[in-house]
Amino acid sequence: MPRLLALLAAVLIALPLAASDLTVGWISRLPEIDYVWNSTHPEREGWPAVGEVVVWRGNVRSWFDHEVTVAYEWRLDGLAIASGTTVLTPSALSAIDVALPWSFDRRRLSLAIDVSRSVTEESETNNELEVFTDALSLGLWVEQSVYDWFRAHQRELGVGSTSWENWAQRHVALFNDMAAMAVYAETPEGVRDRLRLQKVVIVPDGALPLVPPPNAGTMDGEPNGMTHPDMSDRTVDLQLGLRASTLRSYRDTTTATPRNPFYLQPLLLHELGHARYLTDVYAFDVRHDPPRTVIEVAGVETAIAAWRTPELGLMNRQFTFIDRYSAIALNRIAGRRATAGNYNDPENVGIFLNDLPAQNRLTIRDASGAPLPHAKVELYRSRPYGADEWYAAHYDDIPDLVLQTDANGQVLVGRNPFADGPVVHYWRGSNAVAIVKVESDAIERVGFLEARTFNLAFWRGDTVLADHELTVGGAPCGDDAPTLLFPAWDAVSATSAVTLRWAPSPAATDYAVFAARAGEAPRLLATTTATTVAVALDSRTYWWVEARFGHCPPARSETSRLVVTTPRRRAAARR
C-alpha cells in the first residue's frame, strides 16, 4: 500500500516549477527540552531557566536548484536585533540562528529573509515569520507524498503560499488569532497560550505512526498516525501527523476558504485541542442513536436529537472560534508544558470534568420561565460502557434520584448527580448528561442537565454551593446559529465601508455583530433585527454574528475574515 500511494502521488504531482521560492518554514528554540511526565511544576519544569541563553533557529527552505545568497534580519518586538547575509543550500533547509537570554515574558520574535529583495521568487509574501517566544511548541510529522503535493500545488490558491510549511503556519496563525478573540466573562484576556511550530519531520509514505501506541486498535480508528505520529517525542507540547492516505482530501487546489482543507483545515485545531486535554463538547448532545446512545426514558423524543448543547465552538463542530467552556479549561493550564502526553488523547484528557461544586441547587422552570414548586423530580443517569462507540450512553426508564422541589421550585442534587463514581466522557462511556423529568399539576416535562454547567460554576468560584437554572418542557434550544453569506472569507475590500450579510436564524429576536482585528480582542459593531448591516472596518478583520433568542442562549455563527486595504484609522489604532 505505501508503494501504491507513492506511485499515485508521483503521477499527480506536477512537473518541476519553472520558477522557485524561498520561505521561512518555522522557528525552533534550541536546545530542545523534554516535558516532564506528571510534572508538579510544568510552568517551570521543561522550560529553559531564566537568563539561560537559548538559540532561536530560523529553518529556511530554498526551492532553488542552486545556491542563493540573501540578506536577513531578526527582529524582537519589531526592532532589529541581528542581521547579515547567508548562503542558502539548494533544494534544502538552511539554518539562520540568533541567541537570546530566556525570559518567560511574551515577546514577538521574527525572521525576515531576502530583505533587500534581490531574489526573484514565486512569492514575496512568505519571506518573514513571527512567533511568540513563550508559546507552546507544536511538532508536525508529514508523509512525503503529502509534502510534495503541497509544494507542487499551493501556489494555485493565489494567496502567496508555495509549500506545506506555509499551509502549516496558516493554522498556527489562525489558532493564535482565535485565542486572542476567545474573550468571555471568565476569560477577559482570551485564551492566554499561543502556539509556535517547533519542528517538521518528513517521513516516507506509510511510516506513521513511527512508534505504535500501546493501545492501537482498541478504539474506533484511534489512535493512529495522525493522532500519535511519534509517542516517543516529548520535546514538543503538541503533536500531529499528516499521512499519505489523506491526499484525497486536498484535491481542490484553488479555493481559498476554510471549507477547503488544502487552504485551511480548522478540524486539525480541534484535534490539537484534544492533545492539550480538551474533550468533545458536541458529545454533550443527547440523541437516540443506538448502539451509541439508547434512551428508554418515557416522554423523551427519540426520533431526533433530544438535546443540543448551547456551547458552540472549537470542541463542538464550529472550528473557527474557541468555545467558552474550552477557553476556560485551556486557561486553567496556561503556561504549562504537557504533563501526561502531547498526543490525542493524553492521559489527562478531560480531567476537569470532575471539577464539581460540593452542593448544587437547581431552580426548575417551565418554558415560560415560571418556577415549578412542589414538583416531583426524577433524574435519570446514563450507564456508560455498553457499546464500543465514542461516548456510549444508555438511559433506562428507572430513575436514579427521586426528589421534590420546594416552594420556590428549587431542589438540591448534591455534588455529582451524574454518577456514583466520577464523571466520564470518553471511548465507550459518557455519563456527563442526566435526563430530568419533572411532574407538576399532572403534567410531565423533560429537561437535560450537563456536567459542563457544574464545571463552569466551579470555575467561577462557586465551589461550595452553586445555583443553576433548568428549563423543562417546551421546544429544546437548538444550534440555530446564523450562516454568514457576504463577504466571503478573505474577501478584499478597497474601502472601509463594508456591508455584512447573513441568513436569518429561526425564532431569533435580534442579532449582535462582532469584529476583531487579527490578534486583538473582539468589539461589538452593531445590534440589529435585520440580517444585514453596514459597518466601517479596517486592516485584516474577523467578524461574526450572534443570534439572540427569548429563553435560549445566543447562538454564534462561524467566524469569517475580511481584508480591508485602506489604511488603518489612527483613532482605531489607539483602542
Phi, psi of 271 (to 5 degrees): -65, -35
* 90/176 Cα distance (integer angstroms): 32
280 domain-assigned = no
88 domain-assigned = yes
CA dihedral sign, ordered 391, 392, 397, 398: negative
Do 70 and 30 lie in one domain? The reply is: yes
Do 21 and 114 lie in one domain? The reply is: yes
48 domain-assigned = yes
354 domain-assigned = yes
Q: What is the mean pLDDT of residues 48-58?
A: 98
Q: How confident is the model at residue 321 (pLDDT cuts 50, 70, 90)?
A: very high
Give the pLDDT confidence score for residue 224 in this predicted structure: 85
Is 60 exceeded by the pLDDT of residue 14? Answer: no
**Cβ(383)–Cβ(431) below 8 Å:** yes
Strand runs (DSSP E) across 236-319, as ranges? 238-242, 286-287, 293-295, 305-307
How many other CB atoms sit within 10 Å of the CB of residue 259? Answer: 12
Is 50 exceeded by the pLDDT of residue 359? Answer: yes
**In this prediction, what percent of the chain has a pLDDT beyond 90?**
87
Do 301 and 393 lie in one domain? The reply is: yes
Q: What is the 3-state secondary structure (H, E, C) of 492-559?
A: EECCCEEEEEEECCCCCCEEEEEEEECCCCCEEEEEECCCEEEEECCCEEEEEEEEECCCCCCEECCC
- Which of these, 81, 421, 489, lies nearest to 266 by C-alpha position? 489
For 140-151, how does the pLDDT look when each residue is reduced to its tens digit (9 = 90+)?
Answer: 999 999 999 999
Spell out the residues 6+ positions from residue 262 whose beta carbon is closer than 8 angstroms to its own: 150, 153, 154, 157, 167, 249, 250, 251, 252, 253, 255
Q: What is the mean pLDDT of residues 150-154?
A: 97
Is 70 exceeded by the pLDDT of residue 574? Answer: no
All 3 cell numbers of residue 117? 529583495
329 domain-assigned = no
Do 500 and 434 lie in one domain? The reply is: no
* 166/19 Cα distance (integer angstroms): 17
Do 459 and 495 lie in one domain? The reply is: no
CA 524, 528, 534, 536: dihedral to nearest 10 degrees?
-10
Give the pLDDT confidence score for residue 303 in this predicted structure: 62
Q: How confident is the model at residue 16 (pLDDT cuts 50, 70, 90)?
A: very low
Q: Please indicate whether residue 440 or residue 215 has the higher confidence score (pLDDT).
A: 440
Q: What is the mean pLDDT of residues 563-570?
A: 72
448 domain-assigned = yes
Number of domains in the chain: 3
Bridge partners, 516 (sequence order) = 542
For 430-468, how does the pLDDT look when each residue is reduced to its tens digit (9 = 90+)?
Answer: 999 999 999 999 999 999 999 999 999 999 999 999 999
Do 529 and 393 lie in one domain? The reply is: no
Last residue of a domain, one of 423, 438, 471: 471
Residue 440 sits in a domain of what CATH number?
A: 2.60.40.1120
Spell out the residues 6+ positions from residue 217 whose beta carbon is closer than 8 angstroms to its own: none
* 250/237 Cα distance (integer angstroms): 27
For 234-263, how does the pLDDT look when each residue is reduced to its tens digit (9 = 90+)?
Answer: 999 999 999 999 999 999 999 999 999 999
Q: Please indicate whether residue 103 or residue 1 has the higher confidence score (pLDDT).
A: 103
All 3 cell numbers of residue 461? 468560584
Range of the domain at 533: 483-573
Do 379 and 455 lie in one domain? The reply is: yes
State which amino acid sits at residue 274: H
Is 50 exceeded by the pLDDT of residue 315? Answer: yes
**In this prediction, what percent of the chain has a pLDDT beyond 70?**
93
Do 497 and 439 lie in one domain? The reply is: no
Do 410 and 501 lie in one domain? The reply is: no
335 domain-assigned = no
The mean pLDDT value of the chain amounts to 92
Residue 552 sits in a domain of what CATH number?
A: 2.60.40.10
Do 270 and 310 lie in one domain? The reply is: no
Q: How confident is the model at residue 220 (pLDDT cuts 50, 70, 90)?
A: low
Half-sphere exposure of 337 (CA within 13 A, CB side): 23
All 3 cell numbers of residue 60? 529556511
Give the pLDDT confidence score for residue 553 in this predicted structure: 87
For 490-540, how does the pLDDT look when each residue is reduced to its tens digit (9 = 90+)?
Answer: 999 999 999 999 999 988 999 999 999 999 999 999 999 999 999 999 999
Last residue of a domain, one of 471, 499, 526: 471
How many other CB atoms sit within 10 Å of the CB of residue 14? Answer: 13
Percent helix, strand, coil in the chain, to 5, is: 15, 35, 50
b/e map 429-438, b = 16+ CB within 10 Å: bbbbbbbbbb
Last residue of a domain, one of 402, 437, 471: 471
Spell out the residues 6+ positions from residue 566 whose beta carbon is closer than 8 angstroms to its own: 493, 494, 495, 496, 538
Q: How confident is the model at residue 217 (pLDDT cuts 50, 70, 90)?
A: low
All 3 cell numbers of residue 249? 482530501
Q: Residue 166 in 3-state DSSP?
A: helix
Do 415 and 522 lie in one domain? The reply is: no
The pTM is what? Answer: 0.93
Do 264 and 298 lie in one domain? The reply is: no
328 domain-assigned = no
**DSSP label at residue 176:** H
Give the pLDDT confidence score for residue 3 in this predicted structure: 45
